[in-house]
Structures are given as C-alpha cells and as structure tokens.
Chains A and B, each alone.
Chain A
Amino acid sequence: MITKSKIIDVLLYASLLIFIVFAVFILCINQDVLYTAHERSEFLIGAHFFYDLMAKPFGLFQYIGGWLSQFLYNPVVGSCMLLGIWGLIYIVGGKAFKLKGSATAVMLLPIAFLLTSLVDLGYWIYDFTVRGYWFSQSVAYLVMLLLLWVARCTPRRWHLVWYVIGLGLYPFFGWFAMLFVICLILTEKPTWSEIIGIVLLVFTAIIWRALLYSDVKMEEVVMAGLPRFVTPSDQNDILSIPFWLVGVVSILIVLAGKYLANKFVPVVCAIAGIIFTISFMYRDNNYTAEMRMMRSAEADKWGEVLDIFTESQKPTISMVMLKNLALMNEGGILDRSFKMGNDINGIYNPDSVHVSFLEIASPVTYYNYGMFNEGFRLNFECGEQTGFSPIYLKMLSRCAFANGELEVVDRFVKLLHGHPYYRDWQPAPVAENVKELHNSYKDELTGVENSDSYVINSISCWYDSDSKVASEQALFFSMLRCDSRRFWASLKHYINLHQGEEFPVHAQEAYIMYYDKSPEEKKMRLPVSQDIYDNYNKFWATLESLIKSGMSQKEIPDKMRDEFGGTYWYYNIFAKKIAR
C-alpha cells in the first residue's frame, strides 16, 4: 500500500525531475545563445580590469561572473556549471530558509527566475553592458543563501552582528546584501537591536557611497548588482523582473515557510517555474540563425553559413550580408544570391532594443570585404560600449593583422590568451579574396554613415578596380542598390575582366531589365539566354495582368514569389532593400 509520505516523496522527486529535464532542455535549445554570451562577455586579464570592477559595488561578483562566463565558449560545460550552481542554490536555499520535505521545492522558483534571466534577453545580448551577467546573479544569490544559512545557525543574539556584516558586505554583494539582511530580520520578530539593523540597512547605500563610491551615481549604488537594461536609446524594465522576483520570492519564503509543507507545492512550483520561463524566453529562428551564421563566418566556414541561411524564411540584414559574404568566398554570387534571397525583414530586429547589422555582423563583414580601417573602427566603437569581449578582440586582431599593425595585434592577442579557450589563438592568415578587395579600396574620408548602407554604397564604388573579385562585388552591390548608373559602369568593367567566362544569371537578369528600363544611354550589347529573356517578358506580363485584375500591392509580391522570387526583377521591384 502506498503511504502518504511516499506520495509526498514521489510528487517531490517527480516535480524535481521534470524541472531538471526542463532546465536542461531550455539550456540545450539555447546553446547558440550561450556561445554568443561568451563572445559578448568582457573579461580581461590584468589587475586593472579587476580594480575597475571593484571600484563599483557588486564588482567582485561581476568579476567572478565574467570569469565563469568564459566557459560558455563550450556551452555544454557552461550549462553544467550553471546547473551545478542552481543545484547548490536548491540545497543551500533549503537549509537557509529551513525548508523541509515538499517545501524545499519552492526553491525551484528562484532557480526558474535565474534560468529565465539567461534566455529572455533576445537582442539585448548584443547591446547590454552588465559585466559578468551570465553567472554573477546566480553565484551572488548562492553566496547570500550560504551566509543566511550560517547566520541562522548562530544564536539569536548574534543577529545584530550579522546585520553589521551585511552592511560590511554591501560593496561585494550589492542588492543581495540588502536581501540577506531583510531575510534575516524577517526570520524572527524584530527586537530593538534588530530595528537598529533595519535603520542601518536604510542608510547602507548612502554610507558606502560616501565612503567608497562618490564617483558613482546614487541610484547605481542603491541597487548595485541588480541588472538594468538601458542603452542611450532604449530601456527595458521587463528584463529586470526575474531578479526582482528572486528577491520577492526569497522574502515570501521566509514569511510563509511554514505554510509550504503541502504535497502539491512541488508540482505547483515546478509548473509555475516552467510556465514563467517559457513565457519570458525569447524565441525567434532568425535570432539563433544569426548567431550560428556569425560563428561559422568567424571560422571562415562559408558552406555552413549558406546552409543556415537556406533554412530561413525571412532573413535579417545580418543574415543577407553574411550569406553574400559566403557566396563571395564559395563562388557564384551573381548566379545564386537573388535565388537565395536578398529581401530583408526590416532594418532592426523585432525586440525592444535597436540592434541591427552594425552590432551583430558588421565586424566580420567589414573585415572580409577588406575594409580594415572601418572594421577596426566599428569593433572599437562596439567594444567601447559593451566591453572588449572575445568577439571584438578577435576581430580587432584580425583587422590589425591584415593592416600590418603587428604591435597592436600583440596587445589584443595577449588579452585573448588569458581566456581559457583562446590560449593559442592567433589571427588567421588573410584570405586572398580579402587582400584583393583591400587593395582595390581607395583611400577616402568618410564621416558617420549608417553602416548598413555604407558597406553597400562603398563596395558598389569599386567598379574601376582591376581586381576580378572587386569587379564582381561592385557589379553585385550596384544591383543590390538598384543603381543603374553604377550598374553600367560596373558591368563594363566586369565584362572586360571576366572575358571568356559565362555571363552570370543574375547579371543577365539585371542587364535585360536596365537595358529595357533605365534611361542611361551608354548601353552595351551582350548575349542573353533566351530562357531568361522569355522569363523576363513573362514577369512583366504577369505583373501587368495582376495589376489589371485589381490585386492589391501587398498581394502581388506574394502571388509572384513562387515563380519569380529568385529573379533579380522580383528583388528590384518588390523586395525590401538594405540600402539605396
């Protein structure tokens, strides 16, 4: 016969198991996010980085978090570390809050909030400045619970000492020090001495700001360590909710601990945690596809870039740019690019932060187009805002290496060699394509251009280069820009340099179209495949008939996509362009 205690145990362990499986699953489907986290997480060797962080409250945990984030290079290792920390939080939390049996399952809630905080970031991953974010909150919460456990093991009369310790630990623990003191106060009915503790708590931040942090804004000292998501143009308070909930739930556990000894508590907590994480988790196929494409592009695995792109329905600018870069390296850009698609899904990504090609893929794109000064500059500007994380150090090294600035390469490589997974990293040799493009690039002065269109406008100017690669790119980008004037100049040059080679399909398509429609007089006569010519006529005939049938402007592209979506004409007439 099944006893009541066995039912309780079964419910508890089943709930735990389900939650663990869920957490593992969530981490598994976010492996690309975790890899990107390591690439975008700054941790520099040398004392100055440590002291820079220590100059701010909560800096120690940011430093520890930054160090641990390096292990996300291998997302499996990083995930195991996170799971280990959360396992400890579960065990230590049970001791700290004196939870027994089913009640211990309530610790699943803060763990779910911490898990959520890693997978709800979306595009903020590219543009937030919180150092050590990926581990700092979990580690700090674990240490806070340890402290609470130890404090609660000491006699009641020692609590005042613990309040003072809480005050003393504020520079290291930030808001967790406050949480610790609040939890400790609420464990028993406050005495006079404890009220003094509360008063101390109120002034903790003010005291520490006066003593140590006068160069930091008051509001940043008060809630030190609580991640805030703010850029010069965007703010998102929702992403801070999981951390607020960690605090609120911890306080509620202290207040309502004795009411939690219910056999259904594990089930409720596991389900609540799962629902919370699923509701807040950021899911978007392009979001992870961009991360995978970037990883492959950095490793010069262009075939993989194309494979990932092929899986996408409506690509982003970054994906289109990386795909075209891959085609440049794999060959056939003028035969395949428009077939694969250059229609973009808006300039910015669908999130609460304005992140575009600039933050995601411009470093690797500029480098591969041989635009080393631009690449160096963009990496610098991005690194300056979000920290000199491995992605920027790697691309800065590659740009500097390609530019022959070996002394500065040394600086960045030395910093990278402090990373456990980059100990032997060296910039890859500069590919011949990249060198050729760089040599085609004339020196000119540029200002503060929008980088999305800037790269396209710049490359489309290369029509007078003697490089075969550059002439192909110039022709392609003039087509991407739908610039008939540059098209004719580029085409003339391309034909001269590629004599005896086949006239690429998309170039033929563009040629027919501009020959037919553009006002320029300097046209050339070139042989065009009859199939393409017939298809072109069919394209216009279909378009005309659909217009006559009264179909709306929105419906026509959808109607024509299946038959003509892979042609240059479709791109030229209907697609959302990256730049003009």
Chain B
Amino acid sequence: MNRYSQLSVLFSAVAVMLLSSCVHNPDVPVSSTEVQNTPDIFPDYCDVTVPCNIAPLNFMLSSEVYSACVARVSTPGGEQRIYGKGVKVQIPEEEWHSMLEVSKGKSLRVEVWGEKDGLWLAFSPFEIHVAEEPIDEYLSYRLIEPSYIVYGYMEIDQRNLTSFEERQVFNNKVACDSPKGQCINCHSYQNYKTDNMMFHARGTAGGTIIVNDGKLKKVDLKRDYTISSGVYPAWHPTAKLIAFSTNKTAQVFHTVNPNKTEVFDSASDLILYDVETDCVSVICSDQELLEVYPTWSPDGKSLYYCKSVPLPEDMRDKDIRTTFQKLQYNLFRRSFDLATRSFGEEELVYDAAMANKSVSLPRVSPDGSYILFAEGQYGCFHIWHHDADIVCITLGEEMPLRLDLSKMNSAGFSDSYPSWSSNGHWIMVASRRDDGNYSRVYLSHFKNGKVGKAFLLPQEDPEHNIYRLKSYNRPEFMVEPVEISVNEFSKVFPK
C-alpha cells in the first residue's frame, strides 16, 4: 500500500467514525421497570404548551443519577421517533419541525426511559401541547454576567427561536479603543421590527445608536434640562418617537441579604425624543417623585409608566440607602395625541403600593386588553428581588382583573422583564428560577386570559443552560433579524 492509499484509508476511517457519531437512533429498552411519575428532566418540558414553530425541546436526565436516557416521541397520527445519546435527548431540527407541523393544536406524547445502576426505568409519559399560534421568529438579549460593578465582554445577541442559530448584534469591544470597552444596553425595537431600533453604548465615545429606516446614527440625548441622557426606552408603535426615562441610578450591595444587589434611582423623569428632528421634550418631571419605564399602548395613544409613591414625611430627607425599602411604584398612564405631540393628565392604572407592592417594567398586550408588569415589595429593579413575580391585569375595565400566572411564575426566585410576542399569544420573562443568580429566558403560552406553564428557551445542548455563565438580560421579541452587521454598527463610533 503506497503512502497516498494509506492516507485515503485513514481519512475514510475518520470520516466513517465522525458520521457514525452524528447519527444515533437508539432502541427502546427491551425490559424496564415502570416508575409512577414523570421524569425529572432538565429543562422541565413536561406538559408545557409550545409554539408550533419553536426549536427542538432538547432535554436531559441528570448525569449524576442516570447513565443513559432514551425518549420516544409520538405524534397524534401515531408516528414515532426514538432519540437519546448518553443522558441527553437531542432532536434533529427537521424531524422536530415535521412533528410539530402534524401536531398543531394537539399534543406530542413523550415516553422517557432512564438507565440507573444498569437498570432501565420507564417513567410516566408526558405531553407537549403544540399551540396553533407561532412565536415571533427572533429574540434578542444582552448576554452579561449577573454582575456588579466591573464588566468584561458584553454582547447583544439575536436568537432564531425556530432553530438554535445565535448571532451577535453588537459587542462592547469592537468599537472601543479602551481595554475597558463600553457598557452596551437597552436594545429596543419599533413594533417588533428592526429597521427602526436602538441601543445605548456608555463609556468611551458612547451615545445612543439609533437605526432609522435602516440608517445608522449615534446621538447624545443629554440636554441641559434633562437629568441624564435617555435610559429605558420605548419606541412609539407608529411614529419616529421614543419615550425614555432619564435616571440618576445607583447600585449598592447587600452584605448579608440574599438579594445581594440593589439598584435604585435618586431622580428620574420621562422624556420624548423625536428621531427625525433630534428634539428632546420633557413628558413629566415631578421634582419629588420618580417616573420610570415608559411603554406605549399598541395604538400609540397612551403612555404607561411607573411612578413612585411619596415617602412618609419623616423619611423624605433621608439618604436613599436607608429608605429604599419604602420606595414603591404604582402604574400610571397618560393619553398621547400624536398630531400635537401632547400628553394628557396622569391617570392611576394600578395601585400596587396599596397592597404594599411595587411595579416595574409594564408591557401592554398587542390587542390592548392586558398589561404585564413585574411586581415586588419595593423598588423598581426586580431582577435582584427574590420575591418578584410577573403580574397580568386586564385593561379597559373599571376594576382590573388579575390573571392567574401561577404556572408561569417561580416561587422564591425573581421573575422580571415580561414581554408579549407580536401576536399576543406568548409571554416571555427573564427568570432566575434555575439558581437565583443567572437570568434565563422562559416562555409561556397565553390564550383568552389563560397562561400556560413556563418553559426554558430551548438550546441545542441542554447543558448549555448550565455552562453558559451569562445572564439573558432584557429579552425582546423581534419578527425579523437585525441585518446590520457588528462592523457596520461599529462605524458610527469615532476612531
């Protein structure tokens, strides 16, 4: 055998090995012991309702308990497929989508076997209900360590929810000469579309990066009459207007309290920025109280926001470090006339403080019938508050009705940053339910006021959720991807 034929044999052997490692359809165990409970899989996808276009719900059994896992997925039509490699079940995208397609409005039945100490256990089957309503194809989030003062590499990514594709929108190093990089945050889109979008870059050569009909610009939103540049944004659904809060924000750390971190404002107002004319006008600037987290109604005729409740008289002049636990926010709105760009009188929508609670991050449903917000006992930065949950109330009724979100919220861990998909059938939250520290994206089905069990954003490798040491910050739905490249974004920064 000459040198070349030896090489070709070697390459063929390697190719065969690689191919055989890719394709793996195991058999169902011949004998097994039945267990009267559903499997303890991670992520927990038992009896969840999922969009008909979601990426495969790959899952695994604990490798500390089991040595192998096999799953048989059956469609309502009786088609069966078997998966499992090691303790993981990873379903090829094409096969998964074909199963979802035939199961719309019905359920997939999943049987799971786990091998423990050489014996196979057969768990009670569970179902994955496939909703007829699709989810928005894209999602974007900032990936950041759930951290404190120092920051390292930071990126805003977009994820295709129908697959596992994840692509960078921008990072904090590419446009900055300082080794420190920048802090990038608060990405926001007009009406779930990306031809009008924005995010902030703080630090060296910072500013607000705005995409206006696909054209890029960097602006400074600070004016003499505002307390800061724009912070938390909300695009008007139809006009080239962005409502921002302007904040003087501080971050402090608990020495013992499990909440670990507090973020609070010592001042905050609301402004309106006109993208076309670069004009900033003040919406409200109460000298005593704090207004924050603006969000528009889908018709653009109302602006909702959170506003603090006056502190008791004896606490007003005290350092906020001693009064922060008394600082509570209610939900308000003002009408908006697009023609005159004027706002109406302030109107209380939800009195959280009356129940000794505090609201933040409101979001109105696309049909205008509901509003979601995060609610904790105090403050407005609930991602650090273990007691924070998502609340949904009805709008347009004299007595707002509070929906049952018990299947979506976690017990004892922060649930925050809620948002609606563009069709109003999916709710997304950033939740720290997995370990109290890292935020992960959870999705829930919403139909006729009923909210389904929340499920974790699926990943190609289920362990990815464990090994990724980043939090998913500010998850936002999008109906299309951001097409502008990182390089193009970086060009708006001076060299």
Contact = CB atoms under 8 A, between A and B. Distances in A.
A234 B359 CA distance: 43
Interface in B471-486: 485-486
Interface residues of A, number: 43
Contacts of B287: none
Contact of A405 (B174, B435, B487): B435
B178 interface: yes
Contacts, number: 116
B469 A373 contact: no
B438 interface: yes
B256 A442 contact: yes
For chain B, the bracket of interface size reads 35 or more
A49 interface: yes
A215 B436 CA distance: 31
A381 B151 CA distance: 7
A127 to B, nearest CB: 11
A46 B486 contact: no
A384 to B, nearest CB: 4
Nearest to B252: A445
B145 interface: yes
B179 interface: yes
B487 A215 contact: yes
A498 B362 CA distance: 56
Which DSSP category, helix, strand, loop or mixed, fits chain B's interface?
loop
A62 to B, nearest CB: 14
Contact of A215 (B146, B149, B171): B171
A231 B179 contact: yes
B260 interface: yes
B463 interface: yes
Contacts of B255: 371, 373-374, 441-446, 458
Interface string B443-475: 000000000000000001101101111000000
A47 B464 contact: yes
Given A46-B464, A232-B179, A405 B436 contact: yes
B216 to A, nearest CB: 15
Interface stretch (A96-104, A409-417, A475-483): A409-417
A448 B148 CA distance: 10
Contacts of A45: 467
B11 interface: no
A232 B180 contact: yes
A556 B151 CA distance: 46
B152 A48 contact: no
A284 B486 CA distance: 44
Contact of A411 (B150, B254, B435): B435
A390 B330 CA distance: 45
Contact of B467 (A371, A380, A415, A445): A415
Contact of A385 (B152, B258, B461): B152
B321 interface: yes
B252 A214 contact: no
B466 A443 contact: no
Contact of A377 (B253, B434, B436, B485): B253
A376 interface: yes
Contacts of A230: 179
Contacts of A400: 437
Which one of B434, B464, B469 has the greatest number of beta carbons of chain A within 10 Å? B469
Contacts of A446: 252-253, 255
B256 A384 contact: no
Nearest to B433: A407
Interface in B140-157: 145-152
Interface in A383-435: 383-385, 388, 400, 403, 405, 407-408, 410-411, 414-415
9 contacts: A215-B171, A374-B253, A377-B148, A377-B260, A381-B148, A400-B437, A410-B435, A444-B254, A448-B149
Interface of A: 44-49, 214-217, 230-232, 371, 373-374, 376-377, 380-381, 383-385, 388, 400, 403, 405, 407-408, 410-411, 414-415, 438, 441-448, 458
Which 8 interchain pairs have the tightest Cβ spacing? A46-B467, A407-B435, A214-B487, A215-B486, A408-B435, A443-B256, A445-B252, A381-B150
Interface of B: 145-152, 168, 171, 173-174, 178-180, 250, 252-258, 260, 262, 321, 324, 434-438, 460-461, 463-464, 466-469, 485-487
